[in-house]
């Protein structure tokens, strides 16, 4: 069995790390390079950097920020936000990112998944999905959770896998920032239907939530932001706790 991964997520806006609740009420929480370096020292397995306004405002992630991050990290990191062309992925991977993440752009142009996977390999591509449970349906949203689409979580995740996604990063908008636990039922269904790794996002508030998402949700990795940004749950303590729950971590 592969070891479960702990992944701090750093949402980036205007070059700073920010955090919100249910995708709103955003506040600054620190420098993305310094925070990333700290997480690497503390034992994070990977990092995810997401430019949360790049798609909405039509901007691209700045390659120089990625280069600065790469110089200070010795663990893999994924970068997403505003990637809508093969050239964008090439630029960010060349700048030092280990993987790229696509979200809104892939919903609008699903063949983008095929092009990036075909150009660089499935192992370099994460497809992020923001979805909200409403009216007995997980509806996929785009543009940083601002705009609902016709797509449904499970069918879109399966299509993304078939097109070449190497991983699925699922964020439950209902759970995001609430600290009430992950969307374990939906994650379990995703993990059952897919053959690629599933990263859980949205809702981490205490150590037991991570145990639940791995045991009940069957997620391959768990991503969180606030509890790590504010050092509420140190990563070494979290991993020690998970080992006591007989969960294999790195």
> Active site includes 237?
no
> Active site includes 90?
no
* Token pair listed for 153: 């979580």
* Token pair listed for 69: 């991050």
Q: How far is it, in rounded angstroms, from Cα 199 to Cα 236?
A: 20
Which of the following is catalytic: 45, 51, 130, 220? 130
Nearest CA to 212 out of 232, 182, 234, 237 is that of 182
**Beta partners for residue 199, in sequence order:** 169, 221
Q: How far is it, in rounded angstroms, from Cα 126 to Cα 21?
A: 23
47-51 and 5-13 as β-strands: parallel, antiparallel, unpaired?
A: parallel
Which of the following is catalytic: 11, 45, 176, 220? 11
Catalytic residues: 11, 130
């Amino acid at each position: 069995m592969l070891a479960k991964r702990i992944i701090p997520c750093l949402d980036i806006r205007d070059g700073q790390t920010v955090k919100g609740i249910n995708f709103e009420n955003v506040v600054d929480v620190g420098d993305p390079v310094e925070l990333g370096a700290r997480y690497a020292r503390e034992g994070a397995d990977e990092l995810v950097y997401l430019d949360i306004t790049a798609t909405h405002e039509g901007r691209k992630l700045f390659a120089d920020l990625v280069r600065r991050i790469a110089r200070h990290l010795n663990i893999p990191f994924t970068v997403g936000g505003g990637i809508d062309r093969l050239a964008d992925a090439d630029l960010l991977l060349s700048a030092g990112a280990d993987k790229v993440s696509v979200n809104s752009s892939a919903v609008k142009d699903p063949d983008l998944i095929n092009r990036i996977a075909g150009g660089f390999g499935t192992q370099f591509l994460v497809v992020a999905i923001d979805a909200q449970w409403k009216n007995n349906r997980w509806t996929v949203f785009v543009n940083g959770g601002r705009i609902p689409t016709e797509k449904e979580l499970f069918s879109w995740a399966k299509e993304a896998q078939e097109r070449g996604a190497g991983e699925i990063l699922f964020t439950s908008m209902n759970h995001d920032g609430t600290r009430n636990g992950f969307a374990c039922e939906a994650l379990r269904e995703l993990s059952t239907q897919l053959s690629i790794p599933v990263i859980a996002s949205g809702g981490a508030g205490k150590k037991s939530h991570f145990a639940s998402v791995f045991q009940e949700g069957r997620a391959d990795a768990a991503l969180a932001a606030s509890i790590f940004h504010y050092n509420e749950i140190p990563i070494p303590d979290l991993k020690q706790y998970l080992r006591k729950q007989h969960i294999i971590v790195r």
